[in-house]
Chain A
Amino acid sequence: MVKEIERAGIPVVHMCTVVPISLTVGANRIVPTIAIPHPLGDPKLDADEEKTLRRKLVEKALDALQTEVSGQTVFE
């Protein structure tokens, strides 16, 4: 899906936990996330801390979208 959306001409960032799969599939902008069942959260944290964590990840994704890349790039 990432690739087809990219093909439609829209820059796309893939947020996922298993980065090797994303690289194999062919995503160009990749932001690694926390865990498979909760990529953008961590139930062990307080609600506030968890949202802060999520915000950081989303901000990283927005940064990735604003960064020119020439090939597959993982934004650690």
Chain B
Amino acid sequence: MGKIKVVHYVNQFFAGIGGEEKADIKPEVREEVLGPGLALKAGLGDDVEIVATVICGDTYFGNNMEEATGELLDIIKKYEPDLFIAGPAFNAGRYGTACGAITEAVQNELGIPALTAMYEENPGVDLYRKSVYIVATKDSAAGMRDAVKKMAPLALKLYRGEEIGSPEEEGYLERGIRKNFFTDKRGSERAVDMLLKKLAGEDYVTEFPMPDFDRVDPNPAVKDITKATVAIVTSGGAVPKGNPDHIESSSAQRYGKYSLEGIYDFTPENGETAHGGYDPVYANEDLDRVLPVDVMRDLEKEGKIGKLHEYWYATVGNGTSVASSMKFGEAIGKDLAAAGVDAVILTST
């Protein structure tokens, strides 16, 4: 019997092609084992062969999701793999989104067992957790060994069509799937047990977690924008030249509030981006590409908007935790409301 054929997907960084400056490379294939593929290969054992590694730049994928997915599928198809593995993407947002998208496409369109892996706060998780198996990893490549240890056995189970256990048993992120099983205790008894534990302040595990839809209803539209004060906010790291608050290039711990007084246009002299994880050249050349101060000033002068709010707010969205982002957003929102701002344009990279 031949070996189990695996095609592996990685981004430009894990393929060893380059960092951000190479993030716009188009899909390509190498008939070799690259980067994390080496650890995966060892984990999967001797019956498995990684026949090809497909690669795509994160920015290219993010900017052209449909085309990139199509191109990658065409390449992957040619190798007739028995199994497809993407990542692990850890907490890299664009990479995680790409891994989820391509894993879903391989599974659904090619009918090949597929899985990926990433950190639970990666935006790829919420996008794809319901459609594919995503192994939970740590938030950085330091968690590679641990990731592979969980990915390899689950991948082989998927290939063999074996029954997949619960998320806790197998190490993947919960998919929102309910499964029936027999248990010794009937429902009423279990419910009373849970209630007693709850009353006693002890830990208990619910059998039906409520979905966590944290949605905010849209506010009413602005009645007359020509009289409105409009503020600009960004997660794209747009800061005054020199990054005075030292906002971190990833996993930001703070946001900045900066005066727009006297700024009518961003230039390489008065603004830059603090954001890691994307090529900063374009933003550093002209920060209006991230935060459109030049256009807002024109619109203000022409009376198309009432006023541009006198401060802008910025943080770096790269790998920044949901908890931090909520904290920043809450503080910024309060500040803007207190200043009487009527509307906000928030830009993201």
Task: Return 8 A-B CB contacts under 8 Å, by A number.
Answer: A5-B346, A14-B348, A20-B65, A37-B280, A50-B289, A51-B288, A51-B295, A65-B228
Q: Are B343 and A40 in contact (CB under 8 A)?
A: no
Q: Are the CB atoms of A8 and B333 closer together than 8 Å? A: yes
Instruction: Give a binary string over B253-297; 1 marks a CB under 8 Å from any A CB, 0 the rest.
Output: 000000000000000000000000011111101101111101110
> Contact partner of A43 among B217, B285, B333, CB < 8 A?
B285
| Size category, A interface | 35 or more
Chain B residues engaging chain A, CB cutoff 8 angstroms: 59, 62-63, 65, 93-94, 97, 123, 126-127, 214-223, 225, 228, 230, 233, 235-236, 278-283, 285-286, 288-292, 294-296, 298-299, 304-305, 315, 325-326, 328-330, 332-334, 336-337, 341-349
Knowing A38-B289, A41-B286 are in contact, say whether A69-B126 is a contact too (CB < 8 A): no
Contact across chains for A26 and B215 when beta carbons are under 8 A apart: yes
Chain A CB count within 10 A is highest, among B291, B299, B346, for B346
Knowing A1-B235, A54-B288, the reply to whether A9 touches B304 (Cβ < 8 A) is no
Cβ-defined contact, A68 with B330, below 8 A: no
| Contact across chains for A65 and B221 when beta carbons are under 8 A apart | yes
Residue ranges of A at the interface with B (Cβ–Cβ < 8 Å): 1-18, 20-22, 24-26, 28-29, 33, 35-41, 43, 50-51, 54-55, 57-59, 61-62, 65-71, 73
B216 close to A26 (CB less than 8 A)? yes
Q: Is the CB of B344 within 8 A of A13?
A: yes
Query: Contact at A65–B222, with CB atoms within 8 Å?
Result: yes
The 3 closest A-B pairs by CB, nearest first: A4-B329, A8-B333, A41-B289
- Determine the distance from Cα of A10 to Cα of B334 in the docked complex, in whole angstroms: 10
Which residues on the B side are within 8 Å of A7 (C-beta)?
Answer: 216, 329-330, 333
Using A5-B329, A37-B278, A38-B290 as known contacts, say yes or no to A17 and B218 having CB atoms under 8 A apart: no
Nearest residue (CB) in B for A62 is B225
Partner of A10, one of B65, B217, B299, B337: B337
In the complex, are the beta carbons of B216 and A3 less than 8 A apart?
yes
CA distance A67 to B221 in the complex (A): 5
Closest to A19 in B: B65
The smallest C-beta distance from A72 to any residue of chain B, in angstroms, reads: 8
- Distance A6 CA – B337 CA, assembled complex (angstroms): 10
Expressed in whole angstroms, the Cα–Cα distance for A50 and B315 within the complex equals: 25
B62 close to A5 (CB less than 8 A): no
**Shortest CB distance B127–A (Å):** 6
What residue of chain B has the Cβ atom nearest to residue A71's Cβ?
B218
CB-CB < 8 A to B334: which residues of A?
8
A41 and B344: CB pair below 8 A?
no
In whole angstroms, what is the CA distance A58 to B345 when docked? 9
Q: Would you call A8 and B214 a contact (CB within 8 A)?
A: no
A22 touches B348 (CB 8 A): yes
Complex: A33 Cα to B337 Cα, angstroms: 26
Neighbour of A11 across the interface among B127, B218, B282, CB < 8 A: B218
> Out of B94, B127, B222, B332, which one reaches A36, CB within 8 Å?
B94
**A8–B4 CA distance with the chains assembled, in angstroms:** 54
Q: Is the CB of B233 within 8 A of A5?
A: yes
Which residues of the partner chain A approach B337 to less than 8 Å between Cβ atoms? 8-10
Chain B residues whose C-beta falls within 8 Å of the C-beta of A67 in the assembled complex: 221
CA distance A67 to B220 in the complex (A): 8
Measured between C-beta atoms, what is the minimum distance from A34 to chain B in Å? 8
Among A15, A22, A67, find the residue whose CB has the most chain B CB atoms closer than 10 A.
Answer: A15
List chain B residues, Cβ under 8 A from A73: 218
Q: Return B295 CB to nearest CB of chain A, in Å.
A: 5
Whether A66 contacts B222 by the Cβ 8 Å rule is yes
